[in-house]
Each structure stands twice: as structure tokens, then as C-alpha cells.
Amino acid sequence: MVFFQSFRISALNLVFSAGILFLLAVSAAQADVERFVGEYSGQAQMQDASGHEETRDLSVTISEYKKGFQVQWESVTHKSDGRKKTKAYSVDFQPSDRDGIYSAAMQRNVFGHAVPLDPMKGEPFVWGRIVGDTLTVFSLFVDQNGDYELQQFDRTLNDGGLQLEFQSVRNGEPQRTVSAFLKRN
């Protein structure tokens, strides 16, 4: 009888300890994200594989969201004829089981849980990571032929803002790059 009581207490201690470790991991993830929280904006010259350049106004807002974070970004391209083309995105991220790696929560499954999109259906597979002072967002697209495009947005904390380094690779070939400093608003 004493053995079972001791075992029950040990099991409760184990469950309690696991709960504390989970809360500490979530707190550590939030602390990493807190450093990036804010609104940033700037301008950049985008260059594609053919050497064609365009000016873009860029903005990003990083905010805490539930147990993870949200990244909203906008790109306004200025065309040579005076037109403007605006693209805006918003992705929620939640901690994964791997330290510093976050899964995108872009849709709800039948149970109401946030889950990533399916790249085999032509949807982007998105994930993020924080390594040191850099928050990176990756997007993988698989087209109807099975060709792929991988986009990588590195946002590195810098004095007064973020240094953005963007690259797009299609089937191993670089397509576009953008480098810009985004000032904290």
C-alpha cells in the first residue's frame, strides 16, 4: 500500500513538473517574440532574376497572439507608369514541439484547432523560427507541375528597427531578392 501511495505521489510530481516545464517553454517563447513586437516600415529596391528593379514600400507589424505571435506585412510596388500594386499578408504562429520553431496557424480543422495549409493543394506551407536576433518566416509553394518556390524573410533586430533580407528561390534558382532597413514606428 505504501508503494502505491509513493508511486501516486511520484506520478503527480512528474505531471506537475511536466506542466511547469511546458509553461516555462511557452514563457521563453513569448520572451523571444516580445523583442520583435512592434510596427516597422521602410522602402527597398527589389531585384528579380533578370535584373529588373522596382521600388517597394514595405511595412510589417509583429504582435503577440495567444501563445505565439502574428506577423502582418504589406508590400506596395510602384510601377513605372505610376500605378501601385499592394499585397498584404497576415499569418498567426504558434509554438511547435521544437524550441524556437513555430508552425503557422492559417486555417481551422474540423475540431477547431489551428493548423497549417496544405502545399499539395497549392496552398503555401508556412513556418517560422527565431534564432538569436533574427525572426525568419519561410513559405513553401508547390505548383501543379510539382515545381516549388521557397520564400525566406529574415527580419533581424537592429538599432531602431529590423534589417529585412528576402529571397525567393524557384526549383533551386534565385528569383528575387530584397534588402531593406525597416525603421520602428
pTM over 0.85: no
Does residue 91 register a pLDDT over 80? yes
Distance in angstroms (rounded) separating the CA atoms of residues 100 and 91: 17
CATH of the domain at 57: 2.40.128.20
Distance in angstroms (rounded) separating the CA atoms of residues 183 and 185: 6
Q: Domain range holding 158?
A: 2-184
Distance in angstroms (rounded) separating the CA atoms of residues 126 and 136: 11
Query: Degrees (nearest 5) of the Cα angle 112, 115, 118?
Result: 125
Per-residue model confidence (pLDDT) at position 5: 58
Highest mean pLDDT pick, 24-33, 46-55, 126-135: 126-135
Q: What pLDDT, in 10s, does the model give residues 108-119?
A: 656 666 566 677
Distance in angstroms (rounded) separating the CA atoms of residues 161 and 164: 10
Nearest residue to 129 (alpha-carbon basis) of 160, 178, 93: 93
Q: Which of 28-37, 58-67, 175-184 has the lowest mean pLDDT?
A: 28-37
Per-residue model confidence (pLDDT) at position 25: 40
**Cell output for 162:** 529590423
Per-residue model confidence (pLDDT) at position 121: 84
Q: What is the mean pLDDT of residues 131-139?
A: 97
Q: What pLDDT, in 10s, does the model give residues 11-36?
A: 445 444 444 433 334 444 455 899 99
Does residue 77 register a pLDDT over 80? yes
- Structurally, how many domains does the chain consist of? 1
Q: Which amino acid is at 79?
A: K
